[in-house]
Amino acid sequence: MMEDFEPKILVFACNWCSYAGADLAGTSRLQYAPNVRIVRVMCSGMVNPAMILYAFRKGFDGVVVAGCHPGDCHYNVGNYYAKKRIVLLKEMLDFIGFESDRLKLLWASAAEGKKFAEEMTNFTERIRKLGPQTKFRG
Amino acid sequence: MIAESISNPYLPFKAEIIEIRDEVKGLRAIKTFRLKVVDGDRFDYKPGHGCLVSVFGRGESWFTIANSPTRPDIEFSVLKTGKVTTKLHEMKVGDLVGLRGPHGRPFPVDEWKGMNILTVGGGIGQTPLRSVYQYVMDNYSDYGELTVVYGARTSKDLVYRDELMQMIEDGYNVHLSIDIPEEDWEHFVGYVPDNLKRLKPEPENTIAIICGPPIMITISLRVLKELGFREEQVYTTLERRMKCGIGKCGRCRLESKYVCKDGPVFRYDELSTLLEKA
Amino acid sequence: MLVYEGDFLKTVASKLMKEGCRVYAPSEIAYTEINHDSQISDVKPKKSVKEFLFPQNEVLIGYGDWIEKVPLNRERRAVVGVKPCDARAIKLLDRIFLEGFEDPYYRARRENTIIISSSCEPDAYCFCESFSSPFSEEGADIFVSRIDGISFVKAVSEKGKEVLKGFESDLRNPTDQEIEKFRNEEERVRGLFRRSVEAEIQEKMKEKFDSEIWKEIAIGCVGCGTCTFLCPTCFCFDMLDEGEKKGIRYRAWDSCQFPLYTLESSSHNPRREKWQRLRNRFYDKFLYMVESKGNVFCVGCGRCISECPAGVDIVEVLQEVSR
Amino acid sequence: MDTETEKIVRNRVAELLNEDVEAFVVFVRKETEPRERITVIKGPEEAEKVALSPLSVNNTARVLLEVVNNFDGKVGVVAKGCDSKAIKGLISEGKIEREKIHIIGISCPGIVDYRKLIAFSPEDVIFEDGKLIIKPGDKEIPLEEVIHDNCRYCRSPSPVIYDEIYGKAREPFDGTDDDEIEKLPADERWKYWIDVFEKCIRCYACRSACPMCYCTECLVDPVNLAISPMSTAEEKAAYPRFLGKTVTPADNLFYHLIRVFHHAGRCADCGECERACPMDIPLRKLERKLQKEIKEIFGYEDEDIPFLAKLDIIPEGR
């Protein structure tokens, strides 16, 4: 049963770095898990915790928030907000007994297509080990 | 399916969109949808009746039926304003929607036989009035004189514009107005109540029906009273936020009355006794 | 009225459980499921019994391309030890859901839920005596009153008579002394009430509609939906769709205390201010419902007083109105 | 909050209303039960109604925020430790102008949980002139026993912002904010919270009672409340519905997590949410956990700059 499980993963990728990074991974024909769905957002700082929980509620098994490296944010500080939110959200998810490993914050620049692909593959494997997410699924 | 819908008032029956007409374009777009009931016969209704149009995934909205039962099919004119209506505006001919109804208390058109009919409409409020004047036109021998007073912000915002122009050409008493002056506009410029004041309709043996934005209704009523109309001669249809449409869920309640069940048509003397001003 | 030697609530609960019927009894929070008759307590649950007939969420339609499922809940359930005020509220809810267009979801649950009410003593917030009595049998299928080790039992509805059929040999007619005892107990309990309201307050309310007191009362009100959600007679609901292509259309409790309740898409809101919404709750229960249904839609359970975060008190408010 | 303090406050409110204060947010006693409610008084003659006792439970900051802009002049407020914390928060977020308010600070010995009073027979609870005596039988029960649980964890029983201050505060709590739940295995934690939120009826009392939850539109509302005649249809149609009105435990947990999250570094620790909850859900556990993590990870605690706006505290390597 577990072997058949294909995790569904949602990535919120920032328009300026990570989305371009994902794009690069695609154009350089790097292989990464096909289970990843990318939502382009203007900045990782706009990703509201409710959006993350909503993704879990809609049945995603893992969520990645991908933004620019610290200091590189197009809006100067957006990724700092993201970091604060994700760090705290992970703590809170842990507290309520939800696997916080299903949520990941990732820094990936426009040039890091390879890193993006690798991270996606690793994350997919991690989620595969955790199994299907049923707790928030509505 | 119809039989089931009757026993379970929450189940809509299936209707197909067979025609879509653009009435008004732009930000406050209005489209008229012509629907045909698919699973069963066309239902009976009277002018003033309302229906809940349901789009699964979005919800339901209440609309008053825009055409007379004497005309074929069922028409709704929909102002694009929220979740359901935006979706309706995206729909195409051949798409299916749900229909629950007809609900509520319609205009007492049978009681009005032999009387003059005056409709006073503003903006999208013309919808239920269209049903009335079409009905009166189709049963012209039963009624006295028909007068249609209608206005909108600009000439582009007039719903059923071509139809009304045709009526003028055919010799009907139709008085159009727009709020803001425009070139090539041959009709009245000003608000609907001002147009009423100018036209001075005769209260004798006349029924007036007002429908439009709340402020227009209030001022028009005042003008009609000045002209000698009694509250018992004036009707209006009300709108409230509605959900169930069958007199249960409570949100359209006007004190002890449900707009969906005891309305949407009210005679003005029924409303003036309310504590809370609608 | 018949007499049963012993605690009839326990006996009937055990028998129903044996028959495979799910049995519910009062607990601190709600009427919760029990699996043994010893779990029947006498507390007044915070949630009323209305959720058995009109649950907070009820799926009306399951849809895909078109209607796929219409789930009617016909599970046989029994609620024992229902407070008489809660039972009376069911009678009022019947008037909403079964009159006019009949609500099939409510009907299905109503027909399959056995309500066994039990007389009770008032707590500090109760005022049911103003409308009826803690010995009222209205709305119940079977009414039970336990006094000094014996139970007075009365089948109120056909459904109740059906249940009592299995107990004919254990039930007997009361003696004159027992009837006397019942009367005395009723008299005693009536004397325990600390609160009362004037039920015939409609004319006064019409006068006070535009009074400033509503704004004053509303200052403390936080504008939540606690009073309406816990009220056994509040019946307003919302209908929502969940799922774009495939999903459910369900109804959920709604409250006239929420600004979203009456907000129209044009942004017009007939009750925009908090004090208007607060006022609406009292007028609805004590005036509008009397005008439309002939009943005051309050049963005097006191939940809206004890659970109000801000201390808004329906008894004090009505006293203020009648002043 | 003894009768002595009540008298002083009553006099001061009357004096201030004679001076430049236009209205006062105060407590008044309820007639039918030992409890107090908040109201706004406008004239010195009304000052005799002013009450202050261990049953002055609610947070006055919420009412202050609601009414402060209805008056041109100054608005006074009676504020306990936690109330003043909320007021300070609201000032730093630009919701209230400091110059527009006059704060009578009350050092707070802790407030009584009126739900705990229900457990006693009404005859045994005597509440007169602001003095509360619980005497079932011969022995009097110390107020500390019926005090609200949240007060036991109160770190600032004395006001943090005030124009004048009265009363005697309890000892501030300086233990840890660790919760026994943290020690449980993850599955049991999840089960605990699911059981707890099974009870939630989504009446939004927690949200409505909270002084810091002042948004006109809330993320969990199914439609947008903050619309105007100028809002476009697309705007309204595209309003995200993160949650409907389904009351499954997971959805309830979703709502409460988001609500708590919006209080990151802003919570006034007043416990209104828990007190307002008709279903006795331990909401403060979530809030306290969040505040604890903010302190541990970011080293942020009760500063003048809002937590989210402070960007020099991002930890490395987490």
Please indicate whether chains B and A are in contact, defined as at least 3 beta carbon pairs under 8 Å. Answer: no
Asked if residue B206 is part of any domain, the answer here is yes
- Residue B77 DSSP symbol: E
Please, what is the average pLDDT of chain B? 89
Q: Name which of A48, A92, A95 to mutate to probe chain D: the one with the most chain D Cβ atoms within 10 A of its Cβ.
A: A95
User: Could you read off the pLDDT of D195-205 as tens digits, one per residue?
Assistant: 999 999 999 99
Specify if C129 maps to a domain.
yes
Q: Would the pTM of this model clear 0.90, i.e. be above it?
A: yes
In a domain? residue C196: no
Where are chain D's structural domains?
Answer: 3-114+149-166, 180-309
Residue A34 lies in a domain: yes
Q: Please check whether residue C111 lies inside any domain of the structure.
A: yes
Interface contact flag, A57 D251, Cβ < 8 Å = yes
Q: Which two tokens stand for residue B246?
A: 């069958």
DSSP D243-258: --S---HHHHHHHHHH
Mean per-residue pLDDT for B93-110? 91
* Higher pLDDT pick, B94 / D310: B94
CB contact under 8 A, C262 and B251: yes
Question: What are the contacts of C53-56 at 24+ separation with CB within 8 A?
Answer: C53/C90, C53/C93, C53/C97, C53/C106, C53/C109, C53/C110, C53/C113, C54/C93, C54/C97, C54/C106, C54/C109, C54/C235, C54/C237, C56/C229, C56/C252, C56/C253, C56/D201, C56/D202, C56/D247
Task: Walk along chain D (318 residues) and give the pLDDT tens digit of each residue.
Answer: 778 899 999 999 999 999 999 999 999 998 888 889 999 999 999 999 999 999 999 999 999 999 999 999 999 999 999 999 999 999 999 999 999 999 999 999 999 998 888 888 888 888 887 788 888 888 888 888 899 999 999 988 999 999 999 998 889 988 887 888 889 999 999 999 999 999 999 999 999 999 999 988 888 888 877 788 888 888 888 888 888 899 999 999 999 999 999 999 899 999 999 999 999 999 999 999 999 999 988 888 888 888 888 877 777 666
Q: What is the pLDDT of residue B1?
A: 43
**Among D residues 226-255, those touching chain B with beta carbons less than 8 Å apart:** 232-234, 236-237, 239
Question: What is residue D261's three-state secondary structure?
Answer: helix
Q: Does D245 touch chain C (CB under 8 A)?
A: yes
Give how far the C-alpha of residue A78 lies from the chain's centroid of Cα atoms, to the nearest Å: 16
Residue range(s) defining the domain that contains residue C103: 2-190
CB-side neighbour CA atoms (13 Å) of D267: 29
Residues C75 and C218 in one domain: no
Same domain, C179 and C215: no
CB proximity under 8 Å: C 66-85 to D: none
Nearest by CB to residue D250, choosing from A77, A84, A136, is A136
- Whether C71 is in a domain gets the answer yes
Same domain? C256 vs C160: no
- C180 Cα to chain B: minimum distance (Å): 43
**Residue carrying structure tokens 């002056």:** B181
Q: What is the pLDDT of residues C209-230, one digit of tens each?
A: 999 999 999 998 999 999 999 9
Asked if the C-beta of B59 comes within 8 angstroms of chain C's C-beta atoms, the answer is yes
Check whether residue B71 and residue B152 sit in a common domain: no
Quote the number of domains for chain C. Answer: 2
Residue C197 domain flag: no
Chain D residues inside the 8 Å CB shell of C194: 32, 122
pLDDT over 80 (residue B266): yes
Domain with residue B218: its CATH number is 3.40.50.80
Query: pLDDT digits over B189-199, tens only?
Result: 999 999 999 99
Distance from CA of D184 to the nearest CA of B (A): 40
Quote the pLDDT of residue D84: 95
Final residue of a structural domain among C190, C213, C243: C190
Partner-chain contact B83 D236, CB within 8 Å: yes
- Domain containing residue A92: CATH number: 3.40.50
Tell me the residue range of the domain where B98 lies: 2-103
Our count of domains for chain B comes to 2
d(CA D238, CA D244): 15
Decide if B86 is inside a domain.
yes
Tell me the shortest Cα–Cα distance from D148 to chain A, in angstroms.
24
Does residue C221 lie in a domain region?
Answer: yes
- Decide if B267 touches C, using CB distance below 8 A: no
pLDDT in the model for residue C187: 92
- What integer pLDDT is reported at residue D143 of this predicted model? 87
Contact status of B97 with chain C (Cβ, < 8 Å):
no
Domain identity same for C48 and C152: yes
Cβ-nearest to A95 among D246, D248, D289: D289
**C-alpha B219 chain-centroid distance:** 19
Cα of B114 to nearest chain D Cα, Å: 41
Beta bridge partners of B253: B258
Residues C13 and C53 both lie in one domain? yes
Q: What CA–CA distance (Å, rounded) separates B200 from B195?
A: 9
In whole angstroms, give the CA distance from residue B206 to residue D147.
71
pLDDT, chain D, mean = 90
pLDDT at residue B230 is higher than 80: yes
**Cβ-defined contact of D276 to C259 (cutoff 8 Å):** no
> Contact B247/C101, CB-based, under 8 Å?
yes
The alpha carbon of residue C9 is apart from the nearest alpha carbon of chain B, in Å, by 34
Mean pLDDT of chain C: 92
Q: Are A41 and A75 in contact (CB under 8 A)?
A: no
Across the interface, whether the CB atoms of A57 and D254 are under 8 A apart is answered: yes
Average pLDDT score over residue span C272-283: 92
Mean pLDDT of A90-111: 93
- Please tell me which residue of chain D has the smallest CA distance to B58: D237
Residue B2 has what pLDDT?
Answer: 43
Same structural domain for residues B176 and B198?
Answer: yes
Q: In the predicted model, is pLDDT for residue B278 greater than 70?
A: no
Which residue from D minimizes the CA distance to C229?
A: D203
Instruction: Sort out which chain C residues have CB atoms less than 8 A from D227's CB and list them.
Output: 263, 265, 267
Q: Which residues of A touch D248 (CB under 8 A)?
A: 138
Chain segment C135-177, per-residue pLDDT in tens:
999 999 999 999 998 999 999 999 999 999 888 889 999 999 9
Same domain, C168 and C281: no
Residue of A nearest to D193 (CA): A96
| pLDDT over 60 at B3, yes or no | no
Spatial distance between the Cα atoms of B46 and B49, rounded to a whole number of angstroms: 6
pLDDT at B255 > cutoff 90: no
Place of tokens 């007075």: C152
- Same domain assignment for residues B132 and B226: yes
Question: Cβ–Cβ contacts within 10 Å for residue D3, how many?
Answer: 13
For chain A, how many structural domains are there in total?
A: 1
- Residue A122 domain-assigned (yes or no): yes
User: Domain check: are B48 and B11 in the same one?
Assistant: yes
Residue C39 lies in a domain: yes
Q: Quick: pLDDT tens for C231-244.
A: 999 999 999 998 88
Name the minimum distance, in Å, from the CA of D13 to any CA of chain A.
43
Q: Which chains touch B (3 or more CB pairs under 8 A)?
A: C, D
Selected for mutation to probe chain D from A72, A80, A96, A98 (highest D CB count within 10 Å) is A96
pLDDT computed for residue D317 by the predictor: 62
- Does residue B12 share a domain with residue B95? yes
Q: Do C208 and C166 sit in the same domain of this protein?
A: no
CATH number at residue B21: 2.40.30.10
Asked if the Cβ–Cβ distance from D248 to A70 is below 8 Å, we say no
Strands (E), B44-115: 50-55, 59-64, 74-79, 96-103
Instruction: Confirm whether A44 is domain-assigned.
Output: yes
ipTM of this predicted complex?
0.91
Chains that touch A (3 or more CB pairs under 8 A): D
How far apart (Å, rounded) are the C-alpha atoms in residues D194 and C168? Answer: 45
Tell whether C211 and C272 lie within a shared domain: yes
Instruction: Note whether residue B262 is domain-resident.
Output: no
* Domain extent for A66: 10-129
Q: Are residues C159 and C61 in the same domain?
A: yes
